[in-house]
Amino acid sequence: MIHQKRRQELLSRLPEDAVVIVSTNSEQKRNSDVSYPFRPDSNFWYLTGFEEPDAIAVFSKNNYTMYLRPKDQTKEIWNGVRLGVDLAPKTLLVDKAFDIDVFFENIDSLIKKDSIVYFDAPGNSVWKDNSSTNAHNHKIDSLYESVLQPLNPHISEMRLIKDKNEIQSMQEAADLAAKAHLNAMKSSRPGLYEHNIASGFDSMFRNENSEHAYPPIVASGENACVLHYTENNKELKDGDLILIDAGCEINGYASDITRTFPINGKFNVAQREIYNIVLEAQKSAIASIKPGASSNRPHEIACEIIKNGLIKLGIMGSHGELTKFYMHNTGHWLGLDVHDVGSKLIDDNFREFKSGMVTTVEPGIYIRKDDKIESKYWGIGIRIEDDVLVTESGNHILSEKAVKDIDAIENLMS
Ligand SMILES: [Mn+2]
Protein backbone atom coordinates (compact mmCIF):
# COMPACT_ATOMS: atom_id res chain seq x y z
CA MET A 1 0.00 0.00 0.00
CA ILE A 2 1.39 3.33 -1.16
CA HIS A 3 0.57 5.21 2.04
CA GLN A 4 2.42 2.66 4.15
CA LYS A 5 5.47 3.03 1.89
CA ARG A 6 5.31 6.79 2.30
CA ARG A 7 5.15 6.54 6.10
CA GLN A 8 8.18 4.24 6.06
CA GLU A 9 10.03 6.59 3.72
CA LEU A 10 9.24 9.56 5.95
CA LEU A 11 10.40 7.72 9.09
CA SER A 12 13.60 6.66 7.34
CA ARG A 13 14.43 10.38 6.94
CA LEU A 14 13.89 11.03 10.69
CA PRO A 15 15.77 9.87 13.81
CA GLU A 16 15.22 6.30 15.05
CA ASP A 17 12.83 7.24 17.89
CA ALA A 18 10.81 9.82 15.97
CA VAL A 19 7.06 10.05 16.50
CA VAL A 20 4.97 11.68 13.79
CA ILE A 21 1.63 13.34 14.50
CA VAL A 22 -0.35 14.38 11.45
CA SER A 23 -3.94 15.57 11.37
CA THR A 24 -6.63 16.30 8.83
CA ASN A 25 -9.22 19.10 8.75
CA SER A 26 -12.66 19.45 10.26
CA GLU A 27 -15.63 20.34 8.10
CA GLN A 28 -15.85 24.09 7.55
CA LYS A 29 -19.09 25.93 8.07
CA ARG A 30 -20.45 27.83 5.05
CA ASN A 31 -23.56 29.28 6.69
CA SER A 32 -26.14 28.16 9.25
CA ASP A 33 -25.84 24.35 9.41
CA VAL A 34 -24.40 24.06 5.88
CA SER A 35 -20.76 23.01 5.42
CA TYR A 36 -18.41 23.50 2.49
CA PRO A 37 -17.62 20.29 0.60
CA PHE A 38 -14.94 18.51 2.65
CA ARG A 39 -11.41 18.07 1.29
CA PRO A 40 -8.84 16.16 3.41
CA ASP A 41 -5.58 17.81 4.44
CA SER A 42 -3.00 17.02 1.76
CA ASN A 43 -0.19 15.86 4.09
CA PHE A 44 -2.56 13.65 6.08
CA TRP A 45 -4.06 12.17 2.92
CA TYR A 46 -0.62 11.60 1.40
CA LEU A 47 0.48 9.57 4.43
CA THR A 48 -2.76 7.76 5.37
CA GLY A 49 -5.19 7.71 2.43
CA PHE A 50 -7.99 8.36 4.93
CA GLU A 51 -10.62 10.78 3.62
CA GLU A 52 -12.89 11.49 6.61
CA PRO A 53 -12.78 14.77 8.55
CA ASP A 54 -11.61 14.93 12.20
CA ALA A 55 -8.80 12.41 12.38
CA ILE A 56 -5.27 12.37 13.76
CA ALA A 57 -2.63 9.77 12.92
CA VAL A 58 0.29 9.02 15.25
CA PHE A 59 3.06 6.76 14.00
CA SER A 60 6.60 5.67 14.72
CA LYS A 61 8.89 2.79 13.68
CA ASN A 62 6.78 0.21 15.57
CA ASN A 63 3.36 1.73 15.92
CA TYR A 64 0.61 3.29 13.83
CA THR A 65 -2.46 4.63 15.62
CA MET A 66 -5.47 6.44 14.18
CA TYR A 67 -7.81 8.67 16.18
CA LEU A 68 -11.05 9.15 14.29
CA ARG A 69 -14.75 9.89 14.58
CA PRO A 70 -16.65 7.06 16.28
CA LYS A 71 -19.68 5.37 14.72
CA ASP A 72 -22.87 7.35 15.42
CA GLN A 73 -26.13 6.06 14.01
CA THR A 74 -27.99 9.38 14.00
CA LYS A 75 -25.13 11.37 12.48
CA GLU A 76 -24.54 8.66 9.90
CA ILE A 77 -28.21 8.72 8.84
CA TRP A 78 -27.99 12.47 8.27
CA ASN A 79 -24.43 12.94 7.03
CA GLY A 80 -23.09 9.65 5.73
CA VAL A 81 -21.29 6.52 6.83
CA ARG A 82 -18.25 6.69 9.12
CA LEU A 83 -15.51 4.08 9.08
CA GLY A 84 -15.48 3.96 12.88
CA VAL A 85 -12.98 2.59 15.37
CA ASP A 86 -13.68 -1.14 14.86
CA LEU A 87 -13.10 -1.29 11.10
CA ALA A 88 -10.18 1.13 11.03
CA PRO A 89 -7.35 -1.42 11.67
CA LYS A 90 -8.29 -3.63 8.72
CA THR A 91 -9.16 -0.77 6.34
CA LEU A 92 -6.35 1.65 7.15
CA LEU A 93 -3.72 -0.93 8.25
CA VAL A 94 -3.37 0.78 11.62
CA ASP A 95 -2.31 -1.18 14.71
CA LYS A 96 -4.82 0.57 16.92
CA ALA A 97 -7.75 2.94 16.47
CA PHE A 98 -9.48 5.18 19.02
CA ASP A 99 -12.21 7.77 19.24
CA ILE A 100 -10.62 11.16 18.44
CA ASP A 101 -11.77 12.51 21.81
CA VAL A 102 -9.39 10.05 23.46
CA PHE A 103 -6.51 11.83 21.76
CA PHE A 104 -7.41 15.15 23.29
CA GLU A 105 -7.97 13.60 26.70
CA ASN A 106 -4.70 11.66 26.68
CA ILE A 107 -2.28 13.92 24.87
CA ASP A 108 0.25 13.87 27.70
CA SER A 109 0.49 10.11 27.95
CA LEU A 110 0.74 9.63 24.18
CA ILE A 111 4.16 11.17 23.91
CA LYS A 112 7.03 9.36 25.58
CA LYS A 113 9.45 11.74 27.25
CA ASP A 114 12.47 10.58 25.27
CA SER A 115 10.95 10.65 21.81
CA ILE A 116 11.24 13.43 19.26
CA VAL A 117 7.81 14.46 18.07
CA TYR A 118 7.36 15.73 14.53
CA PHE A 119 4.28 17.84 14.33
CA ASP A 120 3.09 21.06 12.73
CA ALA A 121 1.50 23.52 15.12
CA PRO A 122 -1.03 25.00 15.20
CA GLY A 123 -1.84 22.60 12.39
CA ASN A 124 -5.28 22.03 10.97
CA SER A 125 -8.76 23.05 11.92
CA VAL A 126 -9.29 19.73 13.71
CA TRP A 127 -7.22 21.14 16.57
CA LYS A 128 -9.29 24.26 16.96
CA ASP A 129 -12.65 22.51 16.78
CA ASN A 130 -11.84 19.72 19.20
CA SER A 131 -9.93 21.84 21.64
CA SER A 132 -12.79 24.12 22.54
CA THR A 133 -12.41 23.49 26.26
CA ASN A 134 -9.70 25.20 28.27
CA ALA A 135 -8.37 21.89 29.49
CA HIS A 136 -7.80 20.72 25.92
CA ASN A 137 -6.24 24.02 24.91
CA HIS A 138 -3.84 23.78 27.80
CA LYS A 139 -2.80 20.24 26.86
CA ILE A 140 -2.26 21.20 23.23
CA ASP A 141 -0.18 24.18 24.28
CA SER A 142 1.97 21.90 26.39
CA LEU A 143 2.27 19.49 23.47
CA TYR A 144 3.54 22.33 21.29
CA GLU A 145 6.10 23.19 23.93
CA SER A 146 7.47 19.67 24.32
CA VAL A 147 10.24 18.27 22.14
CA LEU A 148 8.69 19.21 18.84
CA GLN A 149 10.23 19.36 15.41
CA PRO A 150 8.46 20.75 12.34
CA LEU A 151 7.10 17.97 10.15
CA ASN A 152 6.26 19.98 7.05
CA PRO A 153 9.76 20.35 5.56
CA HIS A 154 10.23 16.56 5.55
CA ILE A 155 6.89 15.76 3.91
CA SER A 156 7.36 18.65 1.48
CA GLU A 157 10.64 17.19 0.21
CA MET A 158 8.86 13.89 -0.42
CA ARG A 159 5.80 15.44 -2.07
CA LEU A 160 7.97 17.57 -4.35
CA ILE A 161 9.07 14.48 -6.31
CA LYS A 162 6.13 12.69 -7.91
CA ASP A 163 6.11 8.94 -8.54
CA LYS A 164 4.64 7.15 -11.56
CA ASN A 165 1.12 6.92 -10.14
CA GLU A 166 1.07 10.54 -9.05
CA ILE A 167 2.24 11.62 -12.50
CA GLN A 168 -0.49 9.49 -14.07
CA SER A 169 -3.14 11.28 -11.97
CA MET A 170 -1.63 14.66 -12.85
CA GLN A 171 -1.65 13.76 -16.55
CA GLU A 172 -5.34 12.84 -16.29
CA ALA A 173 -6.10 16.08 -14.44
CA ALA A 174 -4.26 18.07 -17.12
CA ASP A 175 -6.01 16.20 -19.95
CA LEU A 176 -9.45 16.84 -18.49
CA ALA A 177 -8.79 20.52 -17.84
CA ALA A 178 -7.28 20.90 -21.34
CA LYS A 179 -10.44 19.39 -22.82
CA ALA A 180 -12.56 21.85 -20.85
CA HIS A 181 -10.44 24.79 -22.07
CA LEU A 182 -10.87 23.69 -25.70
CA ASN A 183 -14.62 23.41 -25.07
CA ALA A 184 -14.62 26.97 -23.70
CA MET A 185 -12.89 28.26 -26.84
CA LYS A 186 -15.47 26.50 -29.01
CA SER A 187 -18.48 27.76 -27.06
CA SER A 188 -17.37 31.38 -26.61
CA ARG A 189 -19.29 34.16 -28.37
CA PRO A 190 -20.28 37.77 -27.68
CA GLY A 191 -23.48 38.13 -25.64
CA LEU A 192 -22.83 35.15 -23.39
CA TYR A 193 -21.76 35.75 -19.79
CA GLU A 194 -18.61 34.67 -18.00
CA HIS A 195 -20.67 32.29 -15.87
CA ASN A 196 -21.97 30.57 -19.02
CA ILE A 197 -18.36 29.75 -19.89
CA ALA A 198 -17.59 28.78 -16.28
CA SER A 199 -20.51 26.33 -16.25
CA GLY A 200 -18.87 24.35 -19.06
CA PHE A 201 -15.92 23.67 -16.75
CA ASP A 202 -18.24 22.70 -13.85
CA SER A 203 -20.08 20.27 -16.07
CA MET A 204 -17.07 18.65 -17.73
CA PHE A 205 -15.24 18.22 -14.42
CA ARG A 206 -18.27 16.77 -12.61
CA ASN A 207 -18.99 14.41 -15.51
CA GLU A 208 -15.63 12.75 -14.85
CA ASN A 209 -16.24 12.67 -11.09
CA SER A 210 -13.68 15.45 -10.76
CA GLU A 211 -14.00 18.97 -9.41
CA HIS A 212 -12.28 22.33 -9.52
CA ALA A 213 -8.85 22.36 -7.87
CA TYR A 214 -9.41 26.06 -7.02
CA PRO A 215 -12.05 28.70 -7.79
CA PRO A 216 -11.82 29.27 -11.55
CA ILE A 217 -11.03 32.70 -13.00
CA VAL A 218 -13.17 33.52 -16.04
CA ALA A 219 -12.23 37.11 -16.81
CA SER A 220 -13.34 38.93 -19.96
CA GLY A 221 -11.93 42.26 -21.13
CA GLU A 222 -10.22 44.35 -18.49
CA ASN A 223 -11.34 41.96 -15.72
CA ALA A 224 -8.29 39.94 -16.77
CA CYS A 225 -6.14 42.65 -15.18
CA VAL A 226 -7.52 41.64 -11.76
CA LEU A 227 -5.26 38.69 -11.00
CA HIS A 228 -7.66 36.79 -8.72
CA TYR A 229 -10.92 37.84 -10.37
CA THR A 230 -13.59 35.25 -9.47
CA GLU A 231 -16.87 37.15 -9.84
CA ASN A 232 -17.26 35.49 -13.25
CA ASN A 233 -20.56 37.22 -14.06
CA LYS A 234 -19.94 39.89 -16.73
CA GLU A 235 -21.18 39.90 -20.31
CA LEU A 236 -18.70 38.85 -23.01
CA LYS A 237 -18.12 41.79 -25.36
CA ASP A 238 -17.32 41.55 -29.05
CA GLY A 239 -13.66 42.47 -29.60
CA ASP A 240 -12.51 41.61 -26.05
CA LEU A 241 -10.27 38.78 -24.92
CA ILE A 242 -11.22 36.31 -22.21
CA LEU A 243 -8.68 34.89 -19.74
CA ILE A 244 -9.58 31.58 -18.11
CA ASP A 245 -7.52 30.08 -15.28
CA ALA A 246 -9.15 26.76 -14.38
CA GLY A 247 -7.96 23.31 -13.36
CA CYS A 248 -9.38 20.19 -11.80
CA GLU A 249 -8.47 17.46 -9.32
CA ILE A 250 -8.04 13.77 -10.14
CA ASN A 251 -7.27 11.43 -7.20
CA GLY A 252 -6.48 14.60 -5.26
CA TYR A 253 -3.91 15.88 -7.78
CA ALA A 254 -4.42 19.28 -9.39
CA SER A 255 -4.08 20.69 -12.85
CA ASP A 256 -3.72 24.45 -13.29
CA ILE A 257 -4.15 25.80 -16.81
CA THR A 258 -4.65 29.32 -18.15
CA ARG A 259 -5.61 30.22 -21.69
CA THR A 260 -6.51 33.63 -23.13
CA PHE A 261 -8.41 33.93 -26.41
CA PRO A 262 -10.63 36.36 -28.34
CA ILE A 263 -14.33 36.10 -27.46
CA ASN A 264 -15.29 36.41 -31.14
CA GLY A 265 -12.61 33.99 -32.34
CA LYS A 266 -10.27 36.54 -34.00
CA PHE A 267 -7.33 38.35 -32.35
CA ASN A 268 -7.03 42.03 -33.34
CA VAL A 269 -3.62 43.53 -34.07
CA ALA A 270 -2.92 44.91 -30.58
CA GLN A 271 -4.06 41.69 -28.88
CA ARG A 272 -1.91 39.66 -31.26
CA GLU A 273 1.17 41.76 -30.46
CA ILE A 274 0.81 41.28 -26.70
CA TYR A 275 -0.21 37.64 -26.98
CA ASN A 276 2.84 36.73 -29.02
CA ILE A 277 5.17 38.29 -26.45
CA VAL A 278 3.60 36.22 -23.65
CA LEU A 279 3.64 33.09 -25.81
CA GLU A 280 7.31 33.49 -26.71
CA ALA A 281 8.14 34.12 -23.04
CA GLN A 282 6.20 31.02 -22.01
CA LYS A 283 7.71 28.71 -24.63
CA SER A 284 11.26 29.89 -23.95
CA ALA A 285 10.74 29.53 -20.20
CA ILE A 286 9.49 25.95 -20.65
CA ALA A 287 12.44 25.14 -22.91
CA SER A 288 14.82 25.93 -20.04
CA ILE A 289 13.31 23.28 -17.76
CA LYS A 290 15.47 20.19 -17.33
CA PRO A 291 17.23 18.36 -14.50
CA GLY A 292 20.06 20.49 -13.09
CA ALA A 293 18.71 23.82 -14.37
CA SER A 294 17.89 26.51 -11.80
CA SER A 295 14.21 26.56 -10.84
CA ASN A 296 14.36 30.36 -11.23
CA ARG A 297 15.58 30.21 -14.84
CA PRO A 298 12.04 30.15 -16.34
CA HIS A 299 11.19 33.36 -14.48
CA GLU A 300 14.40 35.11 -15.55
CA ILE A 301 13.79 34.18 -19.18
CA ALA A 302 10.12 35.19 -19.13
CA CYS A 303 10.90 38.57 -17.55
CA GLU A 304 13.61 39.31 -20.11
CA ILE A 305 11.38 38.52 -23.10
CA ILE A 306 8.36 40.39 -21.73
CA LYS A 307 10.45 43.45 -20.89
CA ASN A 308 12.05 43.61 -24.32
CA GLY A 309 8.70 43.06 -26.01
CA LEU A 310 6.99 45.85 -24.08
CA ILE A 311 9.86 48.26 -24.74
CA LYS A 312 9.74 47.48 -28.46
CA LEU A 313 6.01 48.30 -28.61
CA GLY A 314 6.58 51.56 -26.72
CA ILE A 315 4.40 50.41 -23.83
CA MET A 316 7.28 50.55 -21.39
CA GLY A 317 10.32 52.83 -21.32
CA SER A 318 13.73 51.16 -21.25
CA HIS A 319 14.04 52.13 -17.55
CA GLY A 320 10.45 51.25 -16.71
CA GLU A 321 9.32 48.87 -13.96
CA LEU A 322 8.33 45.51 -15.39
CA THR A 323 6.21 44.76 -12.30
CA LYS A 324 3.70 47.36 -13.50
CA PHE A 325 2.75 44.92 -16.30
CA TYR A 326 3.97 41.58 -14.96
CA MET A 327 3.63 41.41 -11.18
CA HIS A 328 3.62 37.68 -10.36
CA ASN A 329 6.08 34.83 -10.54
CA THR A 330 6.37 32.59 -13.59
CA GLY A 331 5.60 29.35 -11.79
CA HIS A 332 4.88 27.33 -8.67
CA TRP A 333 5.04 23.67 -7.74
CA LEU A 334 1.93 21.65 -8.53
CA GLY A 335 0.62 18.46 -6.88
CA LEU A 336 -1.93 17.63 -4.20
CA ASP A 337 -2.14 21.38 -3.62
CA VAL A 338 -2.44 23.75 -6.54
CA HIS A 339 0.33 25.84 -4.99
CA ASP A 340 2.15 22.73 -3.89
CA VAL A 341 4.64 22.32 -1.07
CA GLY A 342 8.39 22.43 -1.53
CA SER A 343 10.69 25.39 -1.05
CA LYS A 344 12.19 27.09 -4.09
CA LEU A 345 15.29 27.94 -2.12
CA ILE A 346 17.96 25.79 -0.52
CA ASP A 347 20.30 27.81 1.72
CA ASP A 348 19.22 31.03 -0.05
CA ASN A 349 19.97 29.61 -3.50
CA PHE A 350 17.33 28.60 -6.01
CA ARG A 351 17.12 24.83 -6.03
CA GLU A 352 17.71 22.86 -9.21
CA PHE A 353 15.01 21.05 -11.13
CA LYS A 354 14.94 17.28 -10.63
CA SER A 355 13.12 14.59 -12.54
CA GLY A 356 9.65 14.06 -11.04
CA MET A 357 9.00 17.69 -10.09
CA VAL A 358 5.97 19.41 -11.60
CA THR A 359 5.89 23.18 -12.02
CA THR A 360 3.54 25.59 -13.72
CA VAL A 361 4.87 28.07 -16.27
CA GLU A 362 2.58 31.06 -16.45
CA PRO A 363 3.92 34.41 -17.64
CA GLY A 364 1.47 37.22 -18.33
CA ILE A 365 1.06 40.87 -19.32
CA TYR A 366 -1.64 43.08 -17.82
CA ILE A 367 -2.17 46.61 -19.18
CA ARG A 368 -4.50 48.92 -17.29
CA LYS A 369 -5.81 52.21 -18.65
CA ASP A 370 -2.92 54.67 -18.68
CA ASP A 371 -2.72 57.92 -20.69
CA LYS A 372 0.95 57.30 -21.39
CA ILE A 373 0.10 54.08 -23.25
CA GLU A 374 -1.67 53.86 -26.63
CA SER A 375 -5.37 53.24 -25.94
CA LYS A 376 -5.52 50.20 -28.22
CA TYR A 377 -3.64 48.28 -25.52
CA TRP A 378 -5.85 49.32 -22.59
CA GLY A 379 -7.57 46.52 -20.74
CA ILE A 380 -5.56 43.73 -22.35
CA GLY A 381 -4.73 41.03 -19.83
CA ILE A 382 -3.06 37.86 -21.10
CA ARG A 383 -1.65 34.86 -19.26
CA ILE A 384 -0.69 31.49 -20.70
CA GLU A 385 -0.14 28.69 -18.19
CA ASP A 386 0.94 25.09 -18.63
CA ASP A 387 1.79 22.28 -16.21
CA VAL A 388 5.30 20.96 -16.84
CA LEU A 389 6.81 17.71 -15.58
CA VAL A 390 10.59 17.55 -15.26
CA THR A 391 11.79 14.32 -16.91
CA GLU A 392 15.19 12.59 -17.09
CA SER A 393 15.81 14.10 -20.52
CA GLY A 394 14.17 17.51 -20.10
CA ASN A 395 10.48 18.11 -19.64
CA HIS A 396 7.01 17.06 -20.69
CA ILE A 397 4.10 19.51 -20.93
CA LEU A 398 1.24 17.70 -19.19
CA SER A 399 -1.28 20.26 -20.47
CA GLU A 400 -0.06 20.26 -24.08
CA LYS A 401 -3.51 19.29 -25.43
CA ALA A 402 -4.79 22.80 -24.69
CA VAL A 403 -3.73 24.64 -27.88
CA LYS A 404 -2.08 28.03 -27.47
CA ASP A 405 -0.71 29.20 -30.84
CA ILE A 406 -2.81 31.97 -32.40
CA ASP A 407 -3.51 29.99 -35.60
CA ALA A 408 -4.55 26.90 -33.66
CA ILE A 409 -6.93 28.90 -31.44
CA GLU A 410 -8.46 30.79 -34.39
CA ASN A 411 -8.90 27.56 -36.37
CA LEU A 412 -10.58 25.84 -33.45
CA MET A 413 -12.93 28.78 -32.93
CA SER A 414 -13.86 29.33 -36.59
MN1 LIG B 1 -0.98 28.69 -11.42
pLDDT tens sequence across 123-165 = 666 776 554 455 555 566 666 566 678 899 999 999 999 999 9
State pLDDT tens for residues 185-202.
Answer: 999 999 999 999 999 999
- 101 counts as catalytic: no
- What local confidence, expressed as pLDDT, does residue 112 receive? 64
pLDDT single digits (tens) 225-241: 999 999 999 999 999 99
Active site residue 245: yes
Contact call for residues 86 and 46 (beta carbons, < 8 A): no
Report domain extents, the chain: 2-157, 161-413
Q: What pLDDT score does 113 carry?
A: 65
Our answer to whether residue 319 is catalytic in this structure is: no
Instruction: Let me know if 256 is a catalytic residue.
Output: yes
Half-sphere exposure for 168 (CA within 13 Å, toward CB):
4
User: Cα(51)–Cα(140) distance, rounded to whole angstroms?
Assistant: 24
Q: Which of 41, 54, 172, 256 is catalytic?
A: 256
| Closest C-alpha to 21, from 152, 130, 113, 142 | 152
- CATH tag for 2-157 (out of 3.40.718.10, 3.40.350.10, 3.30.420.40, 3.40.605.10): 3.40.350.10
211 labelled catalytic: no
> What digits encode the pLDDT tens for the residues 109-119?
776 666 788 88
- How far is the C-alpha of 339 from the C-alpha of 131, rounded, in Å? 29
For residue 245, CA distances in Å to 22, 213, 290, 312 come to 32, 11, 25, 28
Mean pLDDT, to the nearest integer, of 11-21? 93
For residues 357 and 354, give the distance between their C-alpha atoms in angstroms, rounded to a whole number: 6
Concerning whether 195 is annotated as a catalytic residue, the answer is no
* Residue 369 confidence (pLDDT): 95
Give distance in angstroms: CA of 399 to centre of ligand 1: 12
407 is catalytic: no
Q: Determine whether 129 is an active site residue.
A: no
Mean model confidence pLDDT for the chain: 93
258 Cα to the center of ligand 1, angstroms: 8
Beta strand 148-149 pairing with 116-118: parallel
Separation of 386 CA from ligand 1 center, angstroms?
Answer: 8
The torsion region of residue 389 among left (phi > 0), alpha (psi -120 to 50) and beta comes to beta
Please identify which of the residues 41, 82, 332, 387 carries the catalytic annotation.
332
Cα separation, 224 vs 241, in Å, equals 8
Task: Give residue-wise pLDDT tens across range 61-93.
Answer: 999 999 999 999 999 999 899 999 999 999 999
pLDDT-based confidence at residue 1 (cuts at 50, 70, 90): confident
The predicted model scores a pTM of 0.94
For 249-272, the pLDDT digits (tens) are: 999 999 999 999 999 999 999 999
- The catalytic residue among 64, 67, 366, 377 is 366
pLDDT digits (tens, 9 = 90+) for 289-344: 999 999 999 999 999 999 999 999 999 999 999 999 999 999 999 999 999 999 99
Instruction: Tell me the sheet residues that pair with 243.
Output: 219, 260
Query: Distance from the CA of 208 to the center of ligand 1, in angstroms?
Result: 22
d(CA 110, CA 20): 11
CATH of domain 161-413: 3.90.230.10
Return the pLDDT at 413: 98
What stretch of H or E contains 168?
A: helix 164-187
**Share above pLDDT 90 across residues of the chain, in percent, rounded to a whole number:** 84
Asked about 383 being catalytic, the answer comes back as: yes
Q: How many A from CA of 402 to the centre of ligand 1?
A: 15
* Residue 339 designated active-site: yes
Residue pair 181/205 in contact by the 8 Å Cβ criterion = no
> Catalytic pick from 16, 33, 114, 407?
33
Tell me what pLDDT residue 126 has: 72
Looking at residue 131, its pLDDT comes to 47
Nearest to 277 by CA among 301, 309, 299: 309
- Work out the number of other CB atoms within 10 angstroms of the CB of residue 17: 12
**Residue range 353-368, pLDDT digits in tens:** 999 999 999 999 999 9
Report how far residue 10's alpha carbon sits from residue 211's, in angstroms, rounded to the nearest whole number.
29
**pLDDT at residue number 136:** 57
Asked if 379 and 222 count as a contact pair (C-beta separation under 8 A), the reply is yes
- Interval 200-211: pLDDT, tens: 999 999 999 999
Confidence of residue 390 (pLDDT cuts 50, 70, 90): very high
